[in-house]
Structure 1
Amino acid sequence: MTRIVVMGAGIAGMSAAYELRNKLGSKAEIRVFGDGPRFSFTPSNPWLAVGWRDAEQITLDAGEHLVKKNIHFVPERITEIDPVAKTVRTGLAEPTPYDYLLICTGPRLAFEEVPGTGPHDGHTHSVCTTPHATEAWAHYQEFLKNPGPIVVGAVQGASCFGPAYEFIMILDADLRKRKLRDKVPMTFVSSEPYIGHMGLGGVGDSKGLMESEMRQRHIKWIVNAKVTGVEPGMMRVSECDDSGAEKKTHDVPFAFSMMLPAFKGVDAVAAVEGLCNPRGFVLTDKHMRSVKYPEIFSAGVCVAIPPVEATPVATGAPKTGFMIESMVTTIVENIDAEIAGKPAEFEGTWNAVCLADMGDTGAAFVALPQIPPRNVTWTKIGKWVHYAKIAFEKYFLYKMRNGTSEPVYEKHIMSLLGIERLK
């Protein structure tokens, strides 16, 4: 029987486990290792950070649901990979052998690269994990008692900008509901060269549309920005010109701040010789297989993808939900082919599809493919996107609870957007 280890129990890892079981049936033993016992629906974290959700609504016991599909679950982080012996370890436990390893860990959050950032040793909050968003909500409740300036954004090297846009818009909507918006100056600070770049070089008229939303909501912005340091209540920002040279410095005060960090690969993955690029992201071919170790595949944020374009301040390329689904399906199809003695030739589609909630409206971004030139590129803003994001949350959690392997984006969200298939 083929032994498959899935490293990570997030959106990519859980989806891969269910899809593998559906495709392979009893031909494989599937074992999922998660960093803790619960699956979290990460896209809902911005709602959690303002109290629009609680952690119980967006998490579930991973082992309880995986076992229903005869999938073993180990609620421990893998600390060592031996690609020669084809084993993984967790702490002091005996090594677990594998025939195939799927790396779906997500990123390591590199707060240490910008002094003073991060929720533990720094002075800014995060919505990258459910515990971080829970902590942000606790501090936001204190902020509401004595409101002041807010700063939200993404530091240099960040590759995930959508949650920053979502969070500042959600904060704006929440503060208006509380009749406190007039007491809270808001500033968006980003390494993007312009508003609406999103790490994608812009999508359709995203620049004009997102700038309009910012103006309408009285949100100031600083782009082409490097955060040089954060002190209690003060963010030091260096605004750069088109060549990346400093042209202006800003001392931006805040009473509450959320800044997305740059990402790196998790330590156990980055430590494997020849597996990753210098940032610790897994180097894969078009079949999502490691370029050095044929028994290792990878999906999700931990995969190495080059930036869409060079920018004056470093930005990375995002990995959206549809892209992750496509990566997972690619891996499953190729493992199934190899087990059947056929060549592993399946290739996925690297398209960017993002539903960004904005509190009382939303923005949908579609870039097919992610890297220009593109066959399809557009951005739409409307209240329907807000409801689509809620529907997506509920359906994906339904998928995790019931072990369905069908692709959420292509079957449901794309039909809502009026796109039959993304090719």
Structure 2
Amino acid sequence: MTKPIIAVLGAGLGGAIAAFEIKEAVRSRAEVTVVSQGDVFHFVPSNPWVAVGWRKREAIEVELPPVMARKKIGFTGVGARRVHPAENRIELNDGESLFYDYLVIATGPELAFDEIEGLGPEANTHSICHVAHAEKAGEAFEAFVRNPGPIVVGAVQGASCYGPAYEFAMILDTELRRRKVRDRTPMTFVTAEPYVGHLGLDGVGDTKGLLESEMRQRHIKFITSARVAKVAPGQMTVEEVAEDGSVKATHELPFAYSMMLPAFRGVPAVMGIEGLTNPRGFILADKHQRNPTFPNVFSLGVCVAIPPVGKTPVPVGVPKTGFMIESMVTAIAENLKEVLDGREPTHEATWNAICLADFGDGGVAFIAQPQIPPRNINWSAEGGWVHLAKIGFEKYFIGKVKRGESAPFYEKWALDLMGARKLKA
């Protein structure tokens, strides 16, 4: 009898651990196959370090084919051209098709640089969303240090990932001070958030106070409720938006170096599929991570559609943090076991947020349980230990991927490290 096929589309932070955990959950009852865009996993949270030369690309990458082979997981790195959920089929970029019984979509996002004139690494700003972008940003940074000038860092309207923007601003500050050129690099932080430390989560603990304090101590000016109108070579036009949606002020910001996080949208392979995605191309999912129209399709991570926390003057998306992604993975693995038993899925993801934001010589950590307020735990803290914790976690996570080990990745490790277990009560 032919075994059912579980296809995992994507092999990033979510897709890789999903493949390992699903395989462990279903064992020999089903075949697990991963469809990836390329053969290499890279640890996205380390990209800010790559952009200032603290890491080499190869240090944060893992070759996936041998890992998947050891775990008896099928693998192809050709990527997907189009998902055809009504046919239970993935059309691959090489013209072949992969038919599945169950599909787990973990693609991550497409980076919507084109939505703002002049934005992105092919135009006038840098990015740390992909390791290749971070490498390019690092090359430009080395040239910038030899001829310093103003810096603009932040996240544009519609972005849903703010932690790395704060990290990169602070890491730049740390590295520029080490190189004795910080006095020649005025820096401005530009963000769609209604206030510093909102993070797409309406703040966590005292992130507003902690991050504003860091900005002041590091002489970083900031503009909130900011809408980037366009980016010309060396100059960014930013509209500061009032509560009523009117433009309160327009800022012309000169820069010699800029990194701006873009908005996200769904990848072309799923964009515009009725019943599968919302208008931005994010996957629709119920509380069991299952699509309402195509019940044999599950999804996890950044590609999942989640409504914003609340109305803001400038659109602000909700982040999907590592722990939140991990909890989606576990829910899907357990639900697939139930489905293979002929039962309805019962497991739900724990949508909590645990984050370590490294600042190079310090950092801020926070726990939000649940991620969307009101919360049972609403905690944040700062200190040099966060930088050390981020280094430790990088080694921990990359080691897990190299060994093909399933979760837990985030929760136990992070809660133990932060000494926050007592907060669970």
Amino acid aligned to 1:13: G
TM-score, L = length of structure 2: 0.98
> In the alignment, does 2:21 pair up with 1:11?
no
Match of 1:187 in 2: 188
Match of 1:52 in 2: 54
Match of 2:204 in 1: 203
CA offset at residue 93 of structure 1? 2.6
> In the alignment, does 2:103 pair up with 1:101?
yes
Amino acid aligned to 1:81: V
Give the secondary structure class of the aligned counterpart of 1:268. coil
1:73 to 75, 91, 99: 75
> In the alignment, does 2:372 pair up with 1:371?
yes
CA offset at residue 92 of structure 1? 4.1
Q: Distance in 2 between matches of 1:53 and 1:287?
A: 38
Contact 2:354 2:414 in 1 (8 A): no
Contact 1:102 1:298 in 2 (8 A): yes
CA offset at residue 56 of structure 1? 0.3
Give the secondary structure class of the aligned counterpart of 2:347. coil
Aligned residues: 422
Unmatched 5+ residue regions in structure 2?
none
Give the secondary structure class of the aligned counterpart of 1:79. strand
Amino acid aligned to 1:249: T
Contact 1:349 1:422 in 2 (8 A): no
Contact 2:326 2:407 in 1 (8 A): no
- Larger CA deviation: 75-84 vs 107-116: 75-84
Q: Distance in 2 between matches of 1:92 and 1:115?
A: 32
CA offset at residue 256 of structure 1? 0.4
Contact 1:39 1:60 in 2 (8 A): yes
CA offset at residue 62 of structure 1? 1.0
Q: Distance in 2 between matches of 1:273 and 1:77?
A: 22
Q: How does 1:339-350 map to 2 (within 5 A)?
A: 339-350=340-351
Give the secondary structure class of the aligned counterpart of 2:237. strand
Q: Distance in 2 between matches of 1:156 and 1:258?
A: 14
Amino acid aligned to 1:29: E
- Larger CA deviation: 80-89 vs 104-113: 80-89
CA offset at residue 243 of structure 1? 1.7
Contact 1:191 1:313 in 2 (8 A): yes
Match of 1:124 in 2: 125
Contact 1:175 1:181 in 2 (8 A): yes
Match of 2:44 in 1: 42
CA offset at residue 110 of structure 1? 0.4
C-alpha root-mean-square deviation of aligned residues, in Å?
1.1
Give the secondary structure class of the aligned counterpart of 2:104. strand
Match of 1:216 in 2: 217
Contact 2:121 2:133 in 1 (8 A): yes
Amino acid aligned to 1:64: P
Give the secondary structure class of the aligned counterpart of 2:87. coil
Contact 2:377 2:424 in 1 (8 A): no
Q: Distance in 2 between matches of 1:138 and 1:315?
A: 30
Contact 1:351 1:422 in 2 (8 A): no
Give the secondary structure class of the aligned counterpart of 2:269. helix
Match of 2:114 in 1: 112
Q: Distance in 2 between matches of 1:242 and 1:365?
A: 27
Q: Distance in 2 between matches of 1:249 and 1:328?
A: 43
Closer/same/farther in 2, CA of residues 92 and 60 from structure 1, 3 Å limit? closer
Q: List structure 1 runs of 4+ shifted beyond 2 angstroms.
A: 91-94, 418-423
Query: Deviations 1:270-290 (Å, cap 9, x if unpaired)?
Result: 132210111100010000001
Q: Distance in 2 between matches of 1:152 and 1:300?
A: 25
Q: Distance in 2 between matches of 1:63 and 1:422?
A: 39
Q: How does 1:165-180 map to 2 (within 5 A)?
A: 165-180=166-181
Q: How does 1:271-286 map to 2 (within 5 A)?
A: 271-286=272-287
Q: Distance in 2 between matches of 1:422 and 1:388?
A: 20
CA offset at residue 298 of structure 1? 0.3
Contact 2:116 2:228 in 1 (8 A): yes
2:33 to 28, 31, 34: 31
Query: Deviations 1:58-114 (Å, cap 9, x if unpaired)?
Result: 011111211110111101111111112101111243211101111000000001111
Query: Deviations 1:329-379 (Å, cap 9, x if unpaired)?
Result: 010000011112232111111011111001100101211111111111021
Contact 1:163 1:356 in 2 (8 A): yes
Q: How does 1:249-260 map to 2 (within 5 A)?
A: 249-260=250-261
Query: Deviations 1:110-137 (Å, cap 9, x if unpaired)?
Result: 01111100001x1000000011101101
Contact 1:410 1:422 in 2 (8 A): no
Unmatched 5+ residue regions in structure 1?
none
> In the alignment, does 2:232 pair up with 1:231?
yes
Match of 1:84 in 2: 86
TM-score, L = length of structure 1: 0.98
Give the secondary structure class of the aligned counterpart of 1:119. coil
Match of 1:387 in 2: 388
